[in-house]
Chains A and B, each alone.
Chain A
Amino acid sequence: MLEFISRMLGRENSSSKNVAKERLRLVLVHDRATISPHMLNQLKEDLIKVISNYMEIDEVNLEVNLNQDDREVALVANIPVVKMKRDYATKG
């Protein structure tokens, strides 16, 4: 009944269009997050290049994945570090 009254008075929050918008927003985050394996590989290579400036990493066991759950999409990287580069620290 309360919802009915608030709808009659034009409170928008309960309107179904807002439900539609929010559901669409979430579903599109997922839809748009489909990355091709090729692109993921390139991303990996670029990551290795950048990180290698600072530390030595285990490239074979490096993992980069796009994780999705109901609420968000996250890029999760697990990058084992073999050795820090000492010269970087001194060079600043």
Chain B
Amino acid sequence: MVTSGKGGVGKTTTSANLGTGLASAGHKVVLVDTDIGLRNLDVVMGLENRIVYDIVDVTSGNCRLKQALIKDKRFENLYLLPAAQTKDKTAVSPEQMRTLAAELKEEFDFAVIDCPAGIEQGFRNAIAGADRAVVVTTPEVSAVRDADRIIGLLEANELRNPRLIINRIRPQMVKRGDMMDISDILDILAIELLGVVPEDESIVISTNRGEPAVMDHSSKAGEAYRRITRRIRGEEVPLMNLDVPDGLMDRLKRLIGMR
């Protein structure tokens, strides 16, 4: 499951890119949108026009799982199970989610569960179906605080060893000392790092188009997601180099022996 506590830090973008990345590596993948009432994974994936049934139809027995799964445009081994838009979070129970997850596990190599923001029922549903958790945060006080709370809740629910993605990091600001860096955040949250994704305009563009950035080889964020995908598959991949080239001030500082 992909979770964060705070909204707007990039859960859905991360889910879409991880799912697409894993599918492009040949795995059979299903993306599950559990944000009932506020579904968005469909538009990020560019599949919004194909929805017939949704997750609530499946859990309430209105249709079979196969009928609700939407096949991706790009990869035939990638599917989306969309959230319901007209119901609320209580339309699915943790028990139903567990049953659904068990069914998905038989069919797929990976089920990427996109979790809603918050720590209420939607979060509890997502937890019920998950074996592993990825926590997404951004280098901001509010997002890191919420991530800390989420990590506590995951561990209280027996989802041990969640892994962290630091999203939307801005190397220029880090260099200036105006943004927390990777080690600052790891110090505070004390969990294993899965990856770092730089702030990147190409994410906006790829979302506009409904095509995950992980497919775009000129996108820095896409490269970061490709590396994360490989780590999930068990490879050891170094972090992306996010250093910014030295400017005039740095050279000046070095000249006068400040660094």
Q: Which residues of A contact B (CB under 8 A)?
A: 7-10, 12, 15-18, 20-21, 23-25, 27-28, 31-32
- Minimum CB–CB distance from A36 to chain B (whole Å) comes to 10
Judge whether A24 and B253 touch: CB under 8 Å: no
| A9 contacts across to B, CB distance below 8 A | 253, 258
Chain B residues 61 to 116 lying within 8 A of chain A, measured CB to CB, are none
**A interface majority secondary structure:** helix
Judge whether A10 and B184 touch: CB under 8 Å: no
Judge whether B259 and A17 touch: CB under 8 Å: no
Judge whether A27 and B145 touch: CB under 8 Å: yes
Q: How many A-B pairs with Cβ below 8 Å?
A: 44
Judge whether A21 and B188 touch: CB under 8 Å: yes
Judge whether A17 and B258 touch: CB under 8 Å: no
Q: Which residues of B contact A (CB under 8 A)?
A: 140-141, 144-145, 148-149, 152, 174, 176-181, 184, 188, 249, 253, 258-259
Cα(A28)–Cα(B176), bound, Å = 25
- Minimum CB–CB distance from A74 to chain B (whole Å) comes to 20
Listed from nearest, the 10 A-B pairs whose CB atoms lie closest are A15-B177, A16-B178, A17-B180, A20-B141, A12-B177, A17-B177, A24-B141, A28-B148, A20-B180, A21-B184
| B184 contacts across to A, CB distance below 8 A | 17, 21
Cα(A16)–Cα(B148), bound, Å = 21
Cα(A2)–Cα(B141), bound, Å = 27
